[in-house]
Amino acid sequence: MRILLHRADGKTEPWIKDFGKYLPEAEVEIWHAGEKNQACDYAVVWSPPEAMLPELAQVKAIFVTGAGVDAILKFSDAIPAHIPIIRLEDAGMGMQMAEYVTHSVLRYYRRLDEYEAQARAGQWLPLPQHHKEDFAIGVMGMGVLGTRVLEALAPFGFPLRGWSRTQKAMPGVQCFHGEDGLDTFLRGTRVLVCMLPLTPDTNNIMSRTNMCKLPQGAFLINVARGAHLAEPDLVTLIKSGHIAAATLDVFRNEPLPLQHPFWQEPRITITPHISALTLRRESVVQVTEKIRKFAQGEQVAGVVDRNRGY
Ligand code: NAP
Ligand code: GLV
């Protein structure tokens, strides 16, 4: 069995070592632009370069070392439809998302962002507490990661809401779905958490119009993709006070350019796309299990539906 591996960061050795440990029957070949590769059975990629497409079109299955597949689906037309594109499901990302989102929610609820600013100014000033009943958290995207985040938030007693494409039921969570459910979902959400895949339907979902449906003084947490958010409109709505603050892990251009207005806005917290990192060992273990199942002709979970876009 031969695996074609591409790592944009060039750090291939630890991956080869882990595949050697968990899938010893596989030979791992590193993809290099302009070099002729031997025919491979499977490809393991994250955001493949366009030059890799001829090789990707020859394998039996493509494994993506991430949860989101927007970076590979932009080349969907060049990858024959019979080749499954299989993404990571959780693989240690659920816990990381739970940590990141819970931290961000509690930071706003307990006004720790304001106390940080006060402390920098040498100010000792207790602020009125927020009330939990006014602090409904709405998670857009109730998939593998969104569900994990809702579970993590449950013990704190906030009103919880979720929005998905298809109808869902989750204990303790008020569920909304589809375009018809979006308005009501947004109007009752104080902290909006975006955990959606980026598709033509979800692109720019945090538009000015949709952000204006949130109550005055709402908070935004985007851990999905930068293109979900109308970036200039967020700055306007923060300046007007409609949005109180935002925590953003993802941006339309990454790394976020130094001249971007977000850097100048103290009510925007910026992190460099780290809310849930691909964990190498967990990923290799999951890809190994899926390759073994696939090779046996068994059903594999995480196959991307190219029509849906996730
Ligand atoms: P997932 O399991 O595929 O879940 C996607 C969820 O979004 C599903 O609940 C789906 O609804 C919902 N959805 C999709 N299109 C929709 C639409 N048009 N309207 C309403 N709901 C819609 O994905 P996941 O594993 O949870 O990952 C979610 C995203 O997180 C990834 O795509 C990626 O962009 C992002 N991510 C970011 C990082 C980071 O470090 N920042 C790390 C990992 C992942 P149904 O359940 O009805 O299908
Ligand atoms: C990271 O952003 C991922 O989609 O896994």
pTM of the model: 0.98
Cα distance between residue 144 and residue 121, in whole Å: 41
Whether pLDDT at 36 is above 90: no
Q: Which domain holds residue 211?
A: 93-270
Mean pLDDT calculated for residue range 31-57: 94
Cα distance between residue 146 and residue 139, in whole Å: 7
Q: Does residue 308 form part of some domain? A: no
Q: What is the mean pLDDT of the chain?
A: 98
The DSSP code sequence of 138-171 is EEE--SHHHHHHHHHHGGGT--EEEEESS---BT
Cα distance between residue 196 and residue 185, in whole Å: 15
Give 117 Cα–ligand 2 centroid separation in angstroms. 31
Q: Is the CB of 141 under 6 A from ligand 2?
A: no
Contact 198, 228 (CB under 8 A): yes
3-state secondary structure of 22: helix
Q: Does residue 307 form part of some domain? A: no
Q: Does residue 303 form part of some domain? A: no
Q: Are 171 and 244 within one domain?
A: yes
Q: Does residue 251 form part of some domain? A: yes
Pocket test residue of 86, 87, 278 for ligand 2, highest count of atoms within 8 A of CB: 278
For the chain, the maximum distance between any two Cα atoms, rounded to a whole number of angstroms, is 67
**Rounded to 5°, angle at Cα 96 from 259 and 106:** 75
Q: Are 111 and 233 within one domain?
A: yes
Q: Are 152 and 262 within one domain?
A: yes
Give 50 Cα–ligand 1 centroid separation in angstroms. 24
Q: Is the CB of 226 under 6 A from ligand 1?
A: no
Q: Is 273 left (phi over 0), alpha (psi -120 to 50) or beta?
A: left
pLDDT score of 184: 98
Q: Does residue 48 form part of some domain? A: yes
Q: Which residue shows structure tokens 């499954």? A: 84
Pocket test residue of 196, 203, 271, 305 for ligand 1, highest count of atoms within 8 A of CB: 196
Q: Are 20 and 156 within one domain?
A: no
pLDDT score of 15: 98
Q: Does residue 103 form part of some domain? A: yes
Q: Are 76 and 109 within one domain?
A: no
- CA-nearest residue for atom 1, ligand 2, is 66
Q: Are 291 and 261 within one domain?
A: no
pLDDT digits (tens, 9 = 90+) for 191-242: 999 999 999 999 999 999 999 999 999 999 999 999 999 999 999 999 999 9
DSSP summary character for residue 131: P
Q: Does residue 104 form part of some domain? A: yes
Q: Is the CB of 162 under 6 A from ligand 1?
A: no
Q: Are 129 and 216 within one domain?
A: yes
Q: Does residue 301 form part of some domain? A: no
Cα dist from 230 to 108, 211, 215, 236, 267, whole Å: 22, 9, 18, 10, 16
Q: Is the CB of 302 under 6 A from ligand 1?
A: no
Question: Residue 303's Cα: distance from chain center in Å?
Answer: 17
Q: Are 120 and 261 within one domain?
A: yes
Q: Are 10 and 128 within one domain?
A: no
Q: 204: domain CATH number?
A: 3.40.50.720
Q: Are 23 and 165 within one domain?
A: no
Cα dist from 134 to 18, 55, 188, whole Å: 47, 53, 9
Q: Are 142 and 246 within one domain?
A: yes
Mean pLDDT calculated for residue range 23-49: 95
Ligand that comes closest to the CA of residue 181: 1
Phi, psi of 145 (to 5 degrees): -85, -40
The least confident of 6-10, 212-216, 245-249, 279-283 is: 6-10
Instruction: Report the atom number in ligand 2 closest to the C-alpha of 278.
Output: 5
Give 68 Cα–ligand 2 centroid separation in angstroms. 5
Q: Are 118 and 187 within one domain?
A: yes
pLDDT digits (tens, 9 = 90+) for 245-261: 999 999 999 999 999 99
Pocket test residue of 175, 195, 304 for ligand 1, highest count of atoms within 8 A of CB: 195
Overall number of domains in the chain = 2
pLDDT score of 51: 96
pLDDT score of 37: 83
The amino acid occupying position 158 is F
